[in-house]
Amino acid sequence: MRATEYLVGRVVASARIVSGKQRRDIQRELRSHIDDFVEAAINAGHAPDEIEKLVLANFGDPRQIAEGFAWVYRHERRRLQVFAYMLSTVLLAACLSVAVLAIQAGLAFSLGSSVTKVIASRHTVIEALDILVTVAAFLGLTSVETLFARHSFGKAASLLGAIFIVPILSCAAAGWPVRFLFFGLVNAVFLRAVQRFIPSRIVRAALVLICFSLAGLVLASLLPPMLHVAIGTICASWFAMGAGYLLMSDLAARVDSTLLDGLQRLSD
């Protein structure tokens, strides 16, 4: 019956069940209940058109039924979402780190500096951690926003900041550097705010690139006196990082969604 397929398809599509086997089991269970109802209606002497209307009337609200199944299988869905989040974070952070490092190595080579010294420096490790935390915080911020219906950005940013207090204080108490945690959080909130509240892509790009270039200039001014070329190199490096973060913020949601869809298909 068309009513059966319509109801079953609507429930299963809305239930957001991860496992293909579980979806198929639910389809069979729902079809079995409807078939039993149809058989009873036929035995009671109802016409086919009347039976279809009875099925639709007695089945219940498909949305509520789907929400019930979604609640039952929420843990499986969350585990898959967490795995996709971690995979997205590592993939985006690795690509961004390689790109920024390649640009910095190219700048060092063009200025006659040691490329090995640039790659093997402590600054490179801190920079990679900055990128990793920024990507993780940005993806986390976009995920937490979905929990709130109103003022989602402000609430998500506040919650994320509260979560970050624990590792920041723990690292500080242990004498470990906390710069990468602080900058990662600030970068993520800044990038997400720009993405949320500035509709023009050109304006967003200009703002991010200018702010990161100025950050590089401020950093250079805090260091011991250096050549103008070195200052330009630092600013160019921060400009490249801003461009990378800008690209990351545009691709993050699509990468996370694509990986989640791919993992869900693998579970089928």
Full DSSP string of 174-210: TT---HHHHHHHHHHHHHHHHHHH---HHHHHHHHHH
**Which residues of the chain are under the pLDDT cut of 50?**
none
Write down the pLDDT at residue 160. Answer: 92
3-state secondary structure of 146: coil
122-145 helix and 152-173 helix, angle to the nearest 10 degrees: 140
Question: Residue 140 sits in which domain range?
Answer: 75-267
- pLDDT confidence of residue 65: 79
pLDDT of residue 113: 62
Choosing from 57, 72, 87, the residue where a domain stops is: 72
pTM for this predicted structure: 0.76
Q: Are residues 39 and 149 in the same domain?
A: no
Give pLDDT, residue 2: 66
- Looking at the structure, tell me whether residues 168 and 42 fall in a common domain: no
68 C-beta neighbours (distance < 10 Å), count: 13
Domain end point (choices 18, 42, 72): 72
CB-based contact 13:68 (threshold 8 Å): no
